[in-house]
Structure 1
Amino acid sequence: MEDHKSSTPVAEEENVFAAAQNFVRVLETNRNLPGDMRRILMDLNIQLSTMNLQSESRQGISKIEEQLSSVEEKLIRWESDQTMIWDSQESASEYLQAVDEVRRLAESLEALSLDKDENVSELLRQTHRVLQMSMARLEEEFSHILFQNRKSFEPEHKSFHSCATDLVDDNSIEYDSVESLRRDNSISEESIIDLVHADVIPDLKGIANLMISSKYDKECCQAYISTRKDALEERLSTLEMEKMSIEEVMRVDWSSLNLMIKKWMRAMKLFTRVYLASEKRLCDQIFGEYGSINPFCFVETSKASVLQLLSFSEAIAIGHLQPEKLFRILDMYEVLSDLLPDIDDLFPDEFGSFIKTECHEILKRLGESVVGTYSEFEKAVGSNPSITPFPGGGIHHLTKYVMNYIKFLIDYGDTLNLLLEGHNEEEHVKLIPKLNSVEEENEAASSSYSVTPMAHHLRSVTSVLESNLKNKADLYRDGSLQHFFLMNNIYYMVQKVKGSELRAFFGDGWIRQHNWKFQQHAMNYERATWSSILALLRDEGINNPGSNSASKTILKERFRSFNIAFEEVYKSQTGWLILDPQLREDLRISVSLKVVQAYRTFLGRHASQLDSERHIDRYIKYTADDLQNYLLDFFEGSQRSLHNSRRR
């Protein structure tokens, strides 16, 4: 009686089908049946089996319909709730289970082989509507979790700091040397940070898994890309990198652009080795199990920010070639060059190939800009015009600029050797020929001289400088000042080379040669200034003491002429300037040995002849010690006059 009550129409139908199939199988076993009858029974058996399967399917569909109705009711209740589901871990777990149940129901309906069954098709459409509604909610929850759980931190990172040191030499050139992150400071576990709180990673991964398995991978990726792309762009903003077109960058004045480049270098290092590396790990944590989805999300998330950084460097690379930009372009080249291995590691597959290609292309353009800018520097040195002589015969601004400029280039020796190698020598300004082959070989044999592309270029530009200095010296009417000016400037060049790492690029032979040059100019200065004056202190034409009045007249004229000549030299050459105290002292001593000693001897021999003369101080105005003291005023750059001076 209980069995009868528990039976259903579907179950009774299945029993009938089963009994009929058993009866047919029994008949089929009768070997006396004719062949036609046997074939009829076989067809009947197949039809009964199909009818039985259809009955079972209808029973399964009925169960699916009941399950869908139940889970849909739950999901709608969640949908009407204004709070976020993942605010409660219990609700989140229940919601995921409910949505996963809908997903499995959809798979079951899709697997049923009931073509053209309108009831099943309608039920499948209903299932997809519920699934779509749930996926939209999951997408919203996914974005919300990503956004609300971003970690805030300062842009400065302990492994990636920039230290700037202002180097100012003789006020001729100012340059901020920014410490580069070399390859040994590349991406490491210590540099990677959590971009979102670690405790929500399982939730994000769970949502992603369900959306992807439900074939909503595009929606999941879009939610991730949109949220994280904004976060990365915000990081760039905290690094003070504003969005600018290439045209806008090229219109910025150099002072502002110089600061922007320093910010770019810092941002490029931090962004690549901290933010991008961390973003890749976050992608791996959420999408690591899903093949191409993982690199696709990472590339799409990061490409806008990376291209913004590269766009700035491209604007610098194609901008106007100006010598003052060279150090900054070299900095950018070295930063990008150091980061290339990291970028290759971050974008190893075809999805990121265009980013790697762009980085390599911009690095090439920066290299071309370095070579072009250095060529402009050489041309500027050779063509630097002067229409008036440099005051006081001191060290010309161009000399200071060039020597300090090339001194700072030493820090970029490896990079410049790489970029200048093979560069067309004919494109450079060569106002003075380079060393001949014998001299080159002799220098190469010296351990103090490095025969490299950079060494050739540095020596070349100093030759151009020397040629320009000779042209500037010709502007002086005074021949002695011409030699004085060249002595000053060549001595400065020698000291710059001797006192720095430039020595390795120029060699001891260059130093010896230029020491000889400035000494020759010092000797020529002394001859041009003092030879005619010293001629007045010779004995020719003057008789011994006690001679006639004609001899006294000549002697008086000699003293008078000497006084006038010395006073004129004093007046002019106290205004001449030697900055280097050692050179100034050496030249004073050299002049003193010649002039003071000659005057002392002349005075000792002939002063007594004028003892009887009235107003002798009109002729013998100075003692030898006076001259010695007055020479101490020479080359100080402050013009004086003995006519208004008090006797010392």
Structure 2
Amino acid sequence: MCNCQTIMPSYEAEQHIIAATQHILKALGASKNLSDEFKRVLTELDSHLSTMTIITETEGGRFSEIEEQLKHAERKIIRWESDPCLIWDSGPMEATEYLQAVNEILIVIESLGGLSLSENGKPKEIALRAQNALQRAMSRLEEELCHILFQHKQYFKPQYVLLHSRAEGVFYDESFASVEDEIVDETSQRDGEDRESAECYLDLVDPCVIPNIKSIANVMSASNYIQEFCEAFIDIQREALYEYLSVLEMEKLSIEDVLKLEWDCLSRKIKKWIWIMKVIISVYLASEKRLCDQILGDFGSFNSFCFIEISKDSVLCLLNFGQAITTGPQKPEKLFRLLDMYEIMADLHLEMDSLFSEDNGSFIRIEYHKLLSGLGASARETFMRFGNAIASDASIRPFPGGGIHPLVKYVMNYMRLLPDYCDTFNLLLKDQDIDESNAVVEIDNGQDFSSSTSCPMAYHLRSIASSLESNLIDKSKLYKDDSLQYIFLMNNIHYMVKKVKDSDLRLFFGDEWIRKHIGKFQQHATSYVRATWSSVVSMLRDDGNTNLKERYRRFSIAFEEVYKNQTRWCIPDLQLREDLQISTSQKVIPAYRNFVGINNRNVSDKHVKYTTDDLEELLLDLFVGSPRSLHNSRRR
């Protein structure tokens, strides 16, 4: 059966219960049969009830004041729920009033916290209303925060500075046949603007709204909603970082994607990665860290927490690309990109350690240093494989014309790039063993090693050059003609010397190495003249059995045979070619002139096929790499 009796509000019921209890106590106290002890207890209980009456009456008055304060704040909160405009877009006064309303709700909640609240009744109702209004206000502040961050984010798009590496154009195939001799003519900017620190701070959010964001953070923190503030802040800033990486054209590639790329494409992506790493770490993340500190620096570790949550995915994505590079095959042309990656990470490691210095960022520091170490190991292994490949490069056919072998061009142009990385190489190679017999530098009495000629890199470079020279000797033996062997060795050793003299390699090889190898190619030139022209000139000698006509004829035949063969031979260096032509003339022309001068009266002109001037002209046709016949020669 339904109970239709009106339920008395809790506050009024409490007053009636206290009054009834006090009436009973007075009736009991009038009895004369009570002991003194019992009367004392009754007196104390009556005093306590009187106190409760005073407190309850006081609370009742305060509840009215608190409820009125809550109603005032609720009106402000509710008004904005029906307004499509955003509070902070409506002006500073509106924002201030809204925050003030939230503070009033907090005051109500704090005031109720000091009073006794029964499970039902007016005080409990006020408390629930206050909590509900606070939740609605916090949701609105989250929306306002996201809008402010999104609406006032700021980007910068630094001009992409192409890393003009001197290694541009260096590529390798198994025969060392694909190489350009002029790759080193490109200007290296590694020690110029590209190596300058890009460290600076940017305003990722318009500075004029920072106070607004901080005011929201302060109110949400006071309301115990700082976690919700951080989550909204992280979501917006993390998305902004993703978007910025997209602006910088950084692709998210898996290890499998990276390994499938052709070298030219991969090289471009590595150069862009190097640039992006510098921009993101030195500029963007430094600025993000500062923004987190500006807004959340007063809230304990929340600033560090937010920064790491914002940045970790993007940083790990960048590191994963680097890890993929170390996983791929270690071909020689990859060395310079590995060194560039290693150096930029070494340059930035202090900044990374500072950005992620807290314990909760240690896993990022660990991954960063793991990649740095991996790049160093990969670069070192690639360099060692390069040296081994030179020593083991074999040919089954001689190189046509005895010119400069592609292996020599490749190796010397490759080595000319390495001094740019001297400090890094010395660090990576300091513990690597090397065959000292291949790397020794001959010195004059009293001459000391310089620091550059005695550093680890210098030993390795000279060892590579020694392996190359040994390989050239083996390749020269493929020529059946001894004279062509000397031309081949002369050409290639001269090329090695020229590349060393005209570059920073001179600092690592030393002047004595240069002098020794100048002597070597000069000796090969002398051996060529002796091996080729001694037998030709010997045809002019009187052996006691051959008449003058026959000696003229034999000399002409021998000369023509040499001419026919050696116009096909090649000496690419003009000065070296001219020097050898002069040496050859000094061997041939005086002997021929003397022979003709002595015997011109004893033989008719029809038996003298070539004059001295003819021979001098014909000798200028040698070593041009273009076969000629005596019928289309420049004889005058």
Name the TM-score, length of structure 2 as normaliser: 0.88
Q: Determine helix, strand or coil for the equivalent of 1:578.
A: coil
Say if 2:595 is the partner of 1:591: no
Quick check: 1:181–1:335 contact (8 Å CA) kept in 2?
Answer: no
1:637 paired residue among 605, 625, 629: 625
- Is 2:324 aligned against 1:315? yes
Q: Distance in 2 between matches of 1:250 and 1:264?
A: 16
- For 1:452, the equivalent position in structure 2 comes to 455
SS in structure 2 of the partner of residue 633 of structure 1: coil
Cα RMSD (Å): 2.9
Corresponding position of 1:347:
356
Deviation at 1:323, TM superposition (A): 0.4
Cα distance in 2, alignment partners of residues 181 and 116 from structure 1: 75
Query: Could you list the per-position Cα deviations for residues 93-140 of structure 1 after superposition, in whole angstroms to 9, with x for gaps in the alignment?
Result: 111111222222223333434465565444333322221111111101
1:434 — aligned with what? Answer: 438
Question: How many Å separate the matches in 1 of 2:541 and 2:432?
Answer: 60
In structure 2, the residue matched to 1:421 is 430
Alignment CA distance shift 1:520-1:348 (3 Å): same
Work out whether residues 390 and 471 of structure 2, in 8 Å CA contact, stay in contact via their aligned partners in 1: yes
Is there any run of 5+ residues in structure 2 with no aligned partner, and where?
1-10, 27-34, 171-178
Counterpart in the other structure of 2:572: 579
Instruction: Give SS of 1:610's match.
Output: coil
1:390 and 2:399 correspond: yes
Q: Shift in Å at residue 263 of structure 1?
A: 0.7
Deviations 1:8-34 (A, max 9, x none): x99xx8xx99xx9xxx9xxxxxxxx97
The CA distance in 2 between the partners of 1:97 and 1:461, in whole Å, is 77
In structure 2, the partner of 1:76 is 78
Alignment-mate amino acid for residue 79 of structure 2: R
Q: 1:213: which partner in 2?
A: 222
Question: Does residue 472 of structure 1 match 2:475?
Answer: yes
- How far the C-alpha of 1:163 sits from its partner, in A, is 5.4
Structure 1: state its 5+ residue gaps: 1-8, 25-32, 542-550
Task: Give the equivalent residue in structure 1 for 2:164.
Answer: 164
Alignment deviations for residues 189-210 of structure 1 (CA, whole Å, 9 cap, x no partner): xx21111211111111111111
Q: Tell me how far apart the structure 1 counterparts of residues 591 and 158 of structure 2 sit (CA, whole Å).
A: 73
| 2:31 matched residue in structure 1 | none
Q: Deviations over 1:187-243 (max 9, x none)?
A: 65xx21111211111111111111122111121111111111111111111211111
Kindly indicate whether residue 292 of structure 2 is the aligned counterpart of residue 290 of structure 1.
no
Partners of 2:135 and 2:100 in 1: how far apart?
15
Within 5 Å, which residues of 2 pair with 1:59-458?
A: 59-89=61-91, 90-114=93-117, 116=119, 119-156=122-159, 161=161, 164=164, 171-172=180-181, 174=183, 177=188, 179=190, 185-186=196-197, 191-425=200-434, 433-435=437-439, 439=442, 445-447=448-450, 450-458=453-461
Tell me which amino acid in the other structure corresponds to 2:48. I
Contact 2:330–2:382 under 8 Å retained in 1:
yes
The residue type equivalent to 2:529 in the other structure is: E
In 2 relative to 1, CA 291–40 (structure 1 residues): closer, same or farther, beyond 3 Å?
A: same
Provide the C-alpha distance between the structure 2 equivalents of 1:181 and 1:220, rounded to a whole number of angstroms.
44
Aligned partners of 2:332 and 2:382 also within 8 Å: yes
Helix, strand or coil for the counterpart of 1:86? coil
Query: Does the CA contact (< 8 Å) of 1:172 and 1:401 recur in 2?
Result: yes
Amino acid at match of 1:136: S
Q: Which residue of 2 aligns with 1:498?
A: 501
Find the counterpart in structure 2 of residue 513 from structure 1.
516
User: How far apart are the structure 1 equivalents of 2:133 and 2:224?
Assistant: 14
Distance 1:433 1:241 in 2: 47
Moved more, 255-264 or 514-523: 514-523
Structure 2 counterparts to residues 594-633 of structure 1, below 5 A = 594-611=587-604, 616-617=605-606, 619-633=607-621
For the structure 1 residues 586 and 181, does the alpha-carbon distance in structure 2 shift closer, same or farther, using more than 3 Å as the test?
closer
Distance, in Å, in 2 between the alignment partners of 1:517 and 1:118 is: 109
Give 1:521 deviation, angstroms. 1.3
CA contact (8 A) 1:381 1:464 kept: yes
Question: In structure 2, what is the equivalent of residue 3 of structure 1?
Answer: none
CA distance in 2, matches of 1:622, 1:585: 22
| Residues 183 and 637 (structure 1), Cα distance of their counterparts in 2 relative to 1, 3 Å cut | closer
Q: Cα gap change, 1:231/1:503 in structure 2, threshold over 3 Å: closer, same or farther?
A: same
Letter in 2 for 1:323: P
**1:435 shift after superposition:** 4.9
Shift of 1:400: 1.0
1:346-401 deviation line (CA, Å, top 9, x unaligned) = 22211222211111110000000101110121122122232221111111111111
Kindly provide the amino acid, as one letter, of the partner of residue 425 in structure 2: L
State the 1:262 CA deviation. 0.9
- Give yes or no for contact 2:618–2:635 (8 Å, CA) kept in 1: no
Normalised by the length of structure 1, the TM-score is: 0.86
1:269 Cα deviation from its structure 2 partner = 0.8
Q: How many angstroms apart in 2 are the aligned matches of 1:54 and 1:205?
A: 41
Name the structure 1 match of 2:635: 647
8 Å contact from structure 1 (residues 596, 624) kept in 2: yes
Aligned identity (percent) is 50
- Does the Cα contact within 8 Å between 1:321 and 1:373 map onto a contact in 2? yes
Q: Which amino acid aligns with 1:179?
A: R
2:563 is aligned with 1:570: yes
- Per the alignment, in what secondary structure is the counterpart of residue 608 of structure 1? coil
Question: 1:267, 1:574 → 2: CA distance?
Answer: 54
Task: Report the more deviating stretch, 105-114 or 600-609.
Answer: 105-114
Secondary structure of the equivalent of 1:96?
Answer: helix
Give the direction of change, closer, same or farther, for the CA distance of 1:57–1:162 in structure 2 (3 Å limit). farther
Cα deviation, residue 60, structure 1: 2.5
The Cα of 1:153 is off from its aligned counterpart by 3.2
SS at 1:85 equivalent:
coil
Conserved? CA contact 1:448–1:503, under 8 Å: no
SS at match of 1:434: helix
1:136/1:448 Cα in 2 relative to 1: closer, same or farther (>3 Å)? closer
How many correspondences in the alignment? 599
Q: 1:255 to 1:535 in 2, by over 3 A?
A: same
- The one-letter code matched in structure 2 to 1:363 is L
Kindly indicate whether the alpha-carbon contact (under 8 Å) linking 1:155 and 1:238 is maintained by their aligned counterparts in 2.
no
1:211 and 1:646, CA in 2 relative to 1: closer, same or farther beyond 3 A?
A: closer
Distance 2:132 2:372 in 1: 51
User: Deviation of residue 439 (structure 1)?
Assistant: 4.8
Q: How many angstroms apart in 2 are the aligned matches of 1:274 and 1:120? A: 54
Q: d(CA) in 2 for partners of 1:84 and 1:292?
A: 30
* In structure 1, C-alpha distance between the alignment counterparts of 2:53 and 2:463, rounded to whole Å: 99
Structure 1 equivalent of residue 43 of structure 2: 41
Amino acid of the structure 1 residue aligned with 2:138: M
Q: Distance in 2 between matches of 1:594 and 1:363?
A: 61
Letter in 1 for 2:600: A
Alignment partners' CA distance in 1, 2:154 and 2:195:
27
In the alignment, the residues of structure 2 paired with residue 141 and residue 621 of structure 1 have an alpha-carbon distance, to the nearest angstrom, of 104
Residue 181 (structure 1) shift: 8.1
